[in-house]
Structure 1
Amino acid sequence: MRIAILEDEAVLAEQLSGVLERAGHICYCYSKGSAIIADLKRETFDLLILDWNLPDTTGIDVLRWVREHIDHVPPILFVTSRGEESDIVEALDMGADDYVVKPVQTGEVLARVGALFRRSYPSKGKDIEIFGDHQFEQKSTSVTVSGEQIILTPKEFGLALLLFQNLDRALSRAYILEKVWGRNPDLLTRTLDAHISRIRVKLSLRPESGFRLLPVYSYGYRLEKLNQGEE
């Protein structure tokens, strides 16, 4: 999973990112609220870890901005030295999903992150995932549409499944590339565009079939599930 860590203590940020990356996650660290907000405007993350006290703002202000400006808000974990009950209540009331008081035990943070992912992304990891007439089988990397098997390459399969797992959610180009091709892939933009074009055709991702695969200007792509009669 792709995790953004907002923490102005460099040692703690490195400690948190280290334990999470060893668990298989990809982490991006920020020391200022303005920096993470700038990236949230153009990037997609699966989870946010926020400190409260920051050089330029507060974690609460960042949380407020996220709730006001991001359509699909990822789970949010506060990791902060502020341990008063009133602080915890304020963060949770503002929309935080969990709260850890410093000094932190990295094992506890890892367990809480795992719990948030299981709760927020319950369908991911299943061998067979079904989205209407589209059925994905992970072991065989095969897809059937209305009972008809569709031949996809492994990358096409991974891209299509990622889009279906995130229906109606805009995904940034960097997020898609990392999820499907790995971190920092040496790929041209047209590689992703070509794969998008192929799965749009192969899986009939068009309004008449109930789906619409759209580019999001200066951001990435979004697969929308249409209501009956909507075009």
Structure 2
Amino acid sequence: MRIALLEDETEQAQHIQSILSERGHHCDSFPTGQSFLSAVFHRSYELLILDWQIPDMTGIDVLESVRAQLNWPIPVVFLTQRDSETDIVRALDAGADDYLAKPARAAELVARINALARRTNPDSEKELLLYGPFEINTQQRTIALHGRELTLTDKDFDLTLFLFQNQGRLLTREMLLERVWGLARDINTRTVDTHMSRLRRRLGLNPENGFRIKTIYQRGYRLEAMKAQEPDADSPEAETLTND
């Protein structure tokens, strides 16, 4: 899991990163609210860990910005020395999913993160997934559209499954390379763009089928549900309409 950590104390940040890394998670740490928010809004993270008291704003301010600007309910955990009932209630009311007091106990932190991950993606263990006219069988690794099985490569299947399970989220090229291809995040490749272009055609991602892959300029892609009459902004037809 890709995790963003807001923690201004270097030793604490390194300790938490070490705990998460040992359990197979990737954790980026940020010492200020502004640097944290900039990363969260321009990269793809699956869970956020917030301290309350940081130099430039409060953790509550950061949480409110996240909830106001992200278009999907990313899990958020507070990890802070403030442990009064009033503080806990305030954080939960502001949109936090869990609240832990410092110092972090490794096993408990990881267990709570894993529990949040399961709640956020309840379809991850299902065999048959239905998304509008699309039927995905995770055991047989097949995808059908309106009951007709599509011809896809193994990588096409992996990418399609990941897109539907993360519908509505910005997925950067780096994240897709890591999670679908298993490649290092700093590799510069057009592999993702090539596969996305092909999937648009093979899956029939258009208004009639209810979904589209939206290209987010210089950032990545997002699978979006759409209405039947809504034009696909990434299609040649939509480009023609726009130019007119």
Per the alignment, residue 164 of structure 1 pairs with 164
Per the alignment, residue 20 of structure 2 pairs with 20
Per the alignment, residue 61 of structure 1 pairs with 61
Per the alignment, residue 174 of structure 1 pairs with 174
Tell me, which stretches of 5 or more residues in structure 1 are unaligned? none
Matches within 5 A, 1:107-146: 107-146=107-146
Per the alignment, residue 39 of structure 1 pairs with 39
Matches within 5 A, 1:208-219: 208-219=208-219
Q: Verify the 8 A CA contact 2:210 2:227 in the aligned structure 1.
A: yes
How far has the Cα of 1:228 moved from its partner?
Answer: 4.0
Q: Verify the 8 A CA contact 1:178 1:184 in the aligned structure 2.
A: yes
Q: Verify the 8 A CA contact 2:48 2:74 in the aligned structure 1.
A: yes
How far has the Cα of 1:136 moved from its partner?
Answer: 2.1
Q: Verify the 8 A CA contact 2:133 2:146 in the aligned structure 1.
A: yes
- Partner amino acid, structure 2, of 1:138: T
Q: Distance in 2 between matches of 1:209 and 1:172?
A: 24
Match of 1:135, SS state, is strand
Per the alignment, residue 92 of structure 1 pairs with 92
How far has the Cα of 1:141 moved from its partner?
Answer: 2.7
- Partner amino acid, structure 1, of 2:66: V
How far has the Cα of 1:144 moved from its partner?
Answer: 1.9
Per the alignment, residue 101 of structure 1 pairs with 101
Q: Distance in 1 between matches of 2:208 and 2:53?
A: 50
Quickly say closer, same or farther: Cα 1:183–1:51, change in 2 above 3 A: farther
Quickly say closer, same or farther: Cα 1:121–1:35, change in 2 above 3 A: same
Supply the RMSD in Å over aligned alpha carbons.
Answer: 1.9
Residue 151 of structure 2 corresponds to residue 151 of structure 1: yes
How far has the Cα of 1:127 moved from its partner?
Answer: 3.1
Q: Distance in 2 between matches of 1:216 and 1:61?
A: 26
Q: Distance in 2 between matches of 1:192 and 1:10?
A: 35
Match of 1:143, SS state, is strand
Residue 218 of structure 2 corresponds to residue 205 of structure 1: no
How far has the Cα of 1:187 moved from its partner?
Answer: 4.2
How far has the Cα of 1:133 moved from its partner?
Answer: 2.3
Q: Verify the 8 A CA contact 2:132 2:210 in the aligned structure 1.
A: no
Tell me, which stretches of 5 or more residues in structure 2 are unaligned? 232-244
Q: Verify the 8 A CA contact 2:4 2:40 in the aligned structure 1.
A: no
How far has the Cα of 1:98 moved from its partner?
Answer: 0.7
Match of 1:124, SS state, is helix
How far has the Cα of 1:113 moved from its partner?
Answer: 0.8
How far has the Cα of 1:89 moved from its partner?
Answer: 1.4
Match of 1:41, SS state, is helix
Match of 2:159, SS state, is helix
Higher relative contact order (CA 8 A, sep 6+): 1
**TM-score under structure 1 normalisation?**
0.91
More moved, 20-29 vs 42-51:
20-29
Match of 2:135, SS state, is strand
Q: Distance in 1 between matches of 2:140 and 2:186?
A: 27
Per the alignment, residue 70 of structure 2 pairs with 70
Q: Distance in 1 between matches of 2:175 and 2:142?
A: 23
How far has the Cα of 1:201 moved from its partner?
Answer: 1.0
Per the alignment, residue 191 of structure 2 pairs with 191
The number of aligned residues is 231
Quickly say closer, same or farther: Cα 1:36–1:186, change in 2 above 3 A: closer
